[in-house]
Amino acid sequence: MIGLADLALLPWVVALPLGGAVLSFVLRTRAPFVGLVTALATAAAGLLLAAQVLAAGVQRHLVGGWGAPLGIDLQADGLSALMVAMTAVVGLGVSVYGSAYFAGGNEDTAHQRAYFWPLWLLLWTALNALFVTADAFNAYVTLELLGLSAVALVALAATPAALTGAMRYLLVGLLGSLLYLLGVGLLYGAAATLDLQQLAQAPLSGRVAAVALAAITAGLVLKTALFPFHFWLPPAHASAPAPVSAVLSALVVKASFYLLLRFWFFVAPELASAVLTTGLGLLGAAAVLWGGLRALTAERLKLVVAYSTVAQIGYLFLVFPLGLGQPEGFTAWGGAALLVLAHATAKAAMFLSAGVILKAAAHDGVSGIDGTAQALPVTIFAFALAGVSLIGLPPTGGFAAKWLLLNSALASGQWWWALVLIAGSLLAAAYTFRVLAHAFTRLPGDPPPCVRSRRLEWSALALAATALALGFVATDVLELLRVGAPVQGPVLMERAP
Please report, as ranges, the residues that interact with other proteins according to CB under 8 A.
137, 140-141, 144, 148, 151-152, 155, 158-160, 163-164, 166-168, 170-171, 174-175, 177-178, 181-182, 184-186, 188-189, 194, 235
Nearer to other proteins, 86 or 166 (CB): 166
Q: How far is the CB of 229 from other proteins (least distance, A)?
A: 13
Q: How far is the CB of 60 from other proteins (least distance, A)?
A: 21
- Tell me the DSSP string of 215-266: HHHHHHHHHHT-TTS-TTHHHHHHHS-HHHHHHIIIIIHHHHHHHHHIIIII
Burial class (CB in 10 A: 0-12, 13-18, 19+), 395: middle
Contact 42, 16 (CB under 8 A): yes
Nearer to other proteins, 212 or 250 (CB): 212
> How many CB atoms sit inside 10 A of residue 451's CB?
9
**Cα 204 to Cα 199: distance, rounded to the nearest angstrom:** 8
Q: How far is the CB of 244 from other proteins (least distance, A)?
A: 15
> Do you find a cis peptide bond into 228, omega within 30 degrees of 0?
yes
Q: How far is the CB of 304 from other proteins (least distance, A)?
A: 19
Helices and strands counted in the chain (H then E): 21, 2
> How many CB atoms sit inside 10 A of residue 67's CB?
13
Q: How far is the CB of 136 from other proteins (least distance, A)?
A: 10
- Of the candidates 296, 288, 275, 297, the residue with the CA atom closest to the CA atom of residue 318: 288
Nearer to other proteins, 12 or 116 (CB): 116
Q: How far is the CB of 436 from other proteins (least distance, A)?
A: 29
∠ CA 171-177-182, rounded to 5°: 125
CB proximity list for 305: less than 8 A, separation 6 or greater:
237, 238, 245, 249, 295, 347, 350, 351, 354
Nearer to other proteins, 364 or 479 (CB): 364
> How many CB atoms sit inside 10 A of residue 394's CB?
11
**Cα 331 to Cα 245: distance, rounded to the nearest angstrom:** 31
Q: How far is the CB of 241 from other proteins (least distance, A)?
A: 16
Nearer to other proteins, 155 or 344 (CB): 155
- Of the candidates 19, 24, 14, the residue with the CA atom closest to the CA atom of residue 45: 14
Q: How far is the CB of 185 from other proteins (least distance, A)?
A: 4
Nearer to other proteins, 137 or 266 (CB): 137
Q: How far is the CB of 174 from other proteins (least distance, A)?
A: 5
Nearer to other proteins, 167 or 418 (CB): 167
- Of the candidates 256, 260, 436, 462, the residue with the CA atom closest to the CA atom of residue 348: 462
Burial class (CB in 10 A: 0-12, 13-18, 19+), 473: middle
Q: How far is the CB of 449 from other proteins (least distance, A)?
A: 29
**Cα 412 to Cα 240: distance, rounded to the nearest angstrom:** 41
Nearer to other proteins, 114 or 178 (CB): 178
Amino acid identity of residue 15, one-letter, is: A
Beta bridge partners of 300: 365
Query: Euclidean distance between the first and final Cα of the chain, in Å?
Result: 45
Nearer to other proteins, 127 or 464 (CB): 127
Nearer to other proteins, 186 or 199 (CB): 186
Nearer to other proteins, 40 or 182 (CB): 182
Quote the radius of gyration of the chain (alpha carbons, Å): 21
**Cα 161 to Cα 426: distance, rounded to the nearest angstrom:** 31
Q: How far is the CB of 147 from other proteins (least distance, A)?
A: 8
Nearer to other proteins, 53 or 156 (CB): 156
Q: How far is the CB of 414 from other proteins (least distance, A)?
A: 35
**Cα 436 to Cα 443: distance, rounded to the nearest angstrom:** 14
